[in-house]
Structure 1
Amino acid sequence: MNNNLHKNPQLSTNINKNPRILLVEDDMVYGNIVKKNLEEVGYRVEHCFDGQQGWEKFQQTRYDLCLVDIVLPKMNGFELAHEIRKKTTLTPIFFFSSERTMDGDRMGGFDLGADGYLVKPFSLPELQYRILSFLKWTRPIKTELLIGHSFGQFIFHYRKLKVYDKDITGAIGKISPTEAKVLRYFFSRPNIIIKRDELLLKVWGKDDFYSSRTMDVFLGKVRKQLKIEPRIELETIHNVGIRLNVPEDLKVEKITIPLNNSML
């Protein structure tokens, strides 16, 4: 592990209050290095040494992100992730894996709802950046109201219900209020698997059969809206959920206004 920490101010965890991380790593030395490094930049880290202890801690405390080794005593990382995902789909989970981890095992982890892998040995700055890239979506600053997303050449404006091309004057398309809700939910959580029942409750407020059929219709409409940017894909993962796939080189930015804006 590269333990050279570059004091980059962009690494400061000023996303609301200090985020809380659950670290489940049975290697005491390795885990302590990770814990100390993350605490130095402002995270609150709970370090557990086996999967059973990690699960007990998760049930007692709200965590903003989980870092889980795959090979653990008592309950392995996949089993722990399975229990976490039965409780919530919102908390990001990153697995620590070795080079020996087979591709099939990694795919199994994604099927369980993992959000990513870090292969040992990894650099600590890389770990910090990976954590921040997820927390900026799952813990947005609440002094502002999200009214749109900009991605590459295009803008979805949720208040105006319009689609814009940055090089063209005027709107190039329209979105309905429900399409705006769905787009806003996915763009606020890029590359994170969203379960169907979660989307139903957050957008429609209920998860009955009628709402489920309605959601499928709007997911089709959203996919048509997303065709303006071929690099973005709304992927349905069978028996797992739905994920908005956004490539790393395509920057997604929030368009916000202050919560005390007189227009509200």
Structure 2
Amino acid sequence: MHILLVEDDPQVLETVCDYLSLKGHEVDCAYNGRSAITLLEQARFDLIILDVMMPKLSGTETAKVVRQQLHLNTPIIFLTARDTLEDKLEGFAVGGDDYLTKPFALPELEVRIDAIQKRCNGTTQNTAIQLGSLRYYVDEEYAETQSERFSLPVTQHQILKLLLSASPNFVSKDALINSIWPDNVPDSDAFRSHLYNLRKTLKKNVANVEIITEVGRGYRIVESSA
């Protein structure tokens, strides 16, 4: 699994990271919630292990951003010394999938990771949208061609998903922006930047799929003749 470990205690972070790496997981680390959000905008993770009491952005605040702003369903395991019933209920209320109190045994963390992995594998429908040589897995949020899988930042994933779901119809610029940023609409330059980078990635990885623009109608993704 590709795991994002978010922990402000360097000793705990190093110990957990080393253990999970030895167990065969790919682990990226962040020391606070803001750094975690940046990483989540840049790459796809299978699991987030999230400390609660952190500077800059707490674990619960980070989880709210993950669920409400990034719209990710990535499983979250909270790690924390806060062990009251109220703390646990708050963790689940903001989108946590499991809650492990400190101090904890590393094998117990591994068992909980395995349980989440089995549950996700068992419940994922693996719905895919096919267009040309591009195959996009809706539930797992990744794209691949016949030869390889390629990664996209979170916002580009959302644009691609919306365009593929609507294809061959057009999606207006306003509809795309309002779907991706319902509460915090960016300026037009930010949207154009994400769209430009998505087009570059598709051109690099998928020979026969392109996003076209029509003034007054918006954008659509189509199979090209290339």
TM-score normalised by length of structure 1: 0.45
Return the offset for 1:97.
Answer: 1.3
CA deviation string 1:151-187 (max 9, x = no partner): xxxxxxxxxxxxxxxxxxxxxxxxxxxxxxxxxx9xx
Name the residue aligned to 1:96. 79
Which blocks of at least 5 consecutive residues in structure 2 are unaligned?
127-138, 140-164, 167-226
Return the offset for 1:139.
Answer: 3.8
Paired residue for 2:94, among 104, 112, 130? Answer: 112
Name the residue aligned to 2:146. none
Which amino acid in the other structure matches residue 43 of structure 2?
T
Which amino acid in the other structure matches residue 56 of structure 1?
T
Name the residue aligned to 1:39. 21
| Contact 1:20 1:63 (8 Å CA) reproduced | yes
Which amino acid in the other structure matches residue 62 of structure 1?
R
| Contact 1:26 1:49 (8 Å CA) reproduced | yes
Matches within 5 A, 1:1-264: 19-86=1-68, 87-98=70-81, 100-139=82-121
After the TM superposition, which parts of structure 1 deviate over 3 Å for at least 4 consecutive aligned residues?
none
Please tell me the root mean square deviation across aligned C-alpha atoms, in Å.
2.5
Return the offset for 1:104.
Answer: 1.5
Q: Aligned partners of 1:81, 1:38: CA distance in 2, in Å?
A: 22
| Contact 1:21 1:46 (8 Å CA) reproduced | yes
Q: Aligned partners of 1:112, 1:76: CA distance in 2, in Å?
A: 12
Return the offset for 1:137.
Answer: 2.6
Task: Tell me the SS of whatever aligns to 1:42.
Answer: coil
Which amino acid in the other structure matches residue 66 of structure 1?
I
Q: Aligned partners of 2:42, 2:72: CA distance in 1, in Å?
A: 17
Return the offset for 1:83.
Answer: 0.6
Q: Aligned partners of 1:22, 1:128: CA distance in 2, in Å?
A: 14
Q: Aligned partners of 2:121, 2:8: CA distance in 1, in Å?
A: 28
CA deviation string 1:208-234 (max 9, x = no partner): xxxxxxxxxxxxxxxxxxxxxxxxxxx
Task: Tell me the SS of whatever aligns to 1:54.
Answer: helix
Return the offset for 1:105.
Answer: 2.3
Which blocks of at least 5 consecutive residues in structure 1 are unaligned?
1-18, 146-184, 186-204, 207-264
| Contact 1:89 1:113 (8 Å CA) reproduced | no
Which amino acid in the other structure matches residue 93 of structure 1?
I
RCO higher in 1 or 2 (8 Å CA, sep ≥ 6)?
1
Return the offset for 1:116.
Answer: 1.1
CA deviation string 1:79-116 (max 9, x = no partner): 10001112235211011111x44321221111111111
